Amino acid sequence: MSNLQDLQSQILADIAAAVDEAALEAVRVGALGKKGSISALLATLGKMDPERRKTEGAAINRAKEAVTEALAARRDVLKAAALDAKLAAETIDVTLPMREPLAEQGRLHPLSQVWDELTAIFADMGFSIAEGPDIETDDYNFTKLNFPEGHPAREMHDTFYFNPKEDGSRLLLRTHTSPVQVRTMLSKRPPIRVICPGRTYRSDSDQTHTPMFHQVEGLVIDKGSHLGHLKWILHEFCKAFFEVDNVNMRFRPSFFPFTEPSLEVDIQCRRGKDEIRFGEGEDWLEILGCGMVHPNVLTACGLDPNEYQGFAWGMGIDRIAMLKYGMSDLRQLFEADVRWLNHYGFKPLDIPTLAGGLSS
């Protein structure tokens, strides 16, 4: 009996000394587990005579109950202590400003925002999106677009060329998204209504030019397309994009190899100290170039200019983003400054729609 009392005292002492639930579980297994010390004593009862079994069995069961109660009590104490420690470590200062939800913390780049705005506007007019590779052939980038040999755009100071191939031909980084128009005309039959947004590359770098920038071009090819349709599309686009009720436009003669006639488009604006407001004022701002697709381009793309005609336009996405959202330096668009992005960026879940407002 004295051995049982000593064993019980030792187990109770181990229970009291357990510093966490893992240590307490180890004590329980050592005492009451399948091979535990008290379980081993209970296993010996079967070999005892009835009188002795009755006496020692009662003593062993009392020890087992005492150990079980001590385990339960110590477990409650350890759980309470663990909860107190967790609460102390995770205390919230309710006087601090509420944290912005994770879904609201990031910001969408203004170029991505404007790209989505363009898509929403022209999709509403029935246009589809066409895309093409950034690395192009000389044929698609220049020849099929009626650029003659010796044109300045074909020179190294204006275009990024790759090393010559064995046959002497050279790939290049496209200088405009017009090759996408060529690919579209070669792969589809009219009527065609597409816009072609994407990255373009030229050897320029200053406050208003970067070696890589973004363009969006539009193309309509049909049997009855004319400049009146082009003017309406551009007028409706400017109203929707700049979110004004009306905007006056001025068309000026110009020259582009791939259109004839070619036009530059100015829109009415008021220039303030820190902003440009559209739809009012006495100033004019050039915003894009356009024109009727040159018959040579139609022929090069396998279309009969006596049967089909069309028009095209192009503008810089970076430029119209700067005009709309008041950014002064084109280079800031590509500097990856988080502070700048937090100021000019857009919440990622605010998808631009014509019904809800493009930049709401």
Average of per-residue pLDDT across 7-21: 87
Read off the pLDDT of residues 281-333 as tens digits, 9 standing for 90 and up: 888 989 999 999 999 999 999 999 999 999 999 999 998 898 888 887 788 88
Max mean pLDDT range (50-54, 56-60, 96-100, 339-343): 339-343
**Per-residue pLDDT for 78 more than 80?**
yes
The mean per-residue pLDDT over the stretch 111-127 comes to 93
CB 303, CB 221: distance < 8 Å: yes
Name the band, by pLDDT with cuts 50, 70 and 90, for residue 215.
very high
* Six token digits for residue 306: 């006596």
Q: What is the pLDDT of residue 36?
A: 82
pLDDT band at 88 (very low <50, low <70, confident <90, very high): confident
CATH superfamily of 106-344: Bira Bifunctional Protein; Domain 2 (3.30.930.10)
pLDDT at 33: 84
Residue 200's pLDDT band (cuts 50, 70, 90) = very high
d(CA 282, CA 276): 12
260 annotated among ligand-binding-site residues: yes
Residue at token pair 């009662």: 58
pLDDT of residue 296: 95
The closest alpha carbon to 137, from 186, 168, 179, 181, belongs to: 179
Helix ranges (DSSP H) in the chain: 2-17, 21-32, 37-43, 50-89, 102-105, 110-124, 138-141, 178-187, 227-242, 295-300, 317-325, 338-344
- Reply yes or no on whether the pLDDT at 39 is more than 90: no
Cα-Cα-Cα-Cα torsion 32, 35, 40, 46, nearest 10 degrees, comes to 110
pLDDT at 155: 74
pLDDT tens per residue, range 92-104: 777 878 777 777 7
Q: What is the pLDDT of residue 249?
A: 92
- In degrees, rounded to 5, the angle at the alpha carbon of residue 197 between the alpha carbons of residues 191 and 202 is 125
| pTM > 0.75: yes or no | no
Nearest 10 degrees: Cα torsion 329, 335, 340, 345? 90
What's the Rg (C-alpha) of the chain? Answer: 39
Q: What is the mean pLDDT of the chain?
A: 87
Q: CB atoms < 10 A from the CB of 142, how many? A: 23
pLDDT at res. 356: 67
Answer yes or no: is pLDDT of 203 > 60: yes
Residue 156 has pLDDT above 70, yes or no: no
Q: How far is CA 352 from CA 108, 110, 112, 143, 216, in A?
A: 12, 12, 11, 38, 17
| pLDDT confidence of residue 336 | 83
Q: What is the pLDDT of residues 216-256, one digit of tens each?
A: 999 999 999 999 999 999 999 999 998 888 889 999 999 99
Q: Residue 49 has which token pair?
A: 């005579």
Residues 23, 301: Cα–Cα separation, whole Å: 81
Per-residue model confidence (pLDDT) at position 208: 65
Nearest partner of 282 among 266, 296, 294, 304, judged by Cα: 266
146 Rama sector, left if φ>0, alpha if ψ -120 to 50, beta otherwise: left
pLDDT band at 207 (very low <50, low <70, confident <90, very high): low
Q: Which residues are CB-contacts of 37 (< 8 A; sequence separation ≥ 6)?
A: 7, 11, 30, 31
How far apart, in Å, are the Cα atoms of 162 and each of 165, 171, 201? 9, 5, 13
Q: Summarize pLDDT for 161-195 with one digit per residue, the tens.
A: 899 888 888 899 999 999 999 999 999 999 999 99
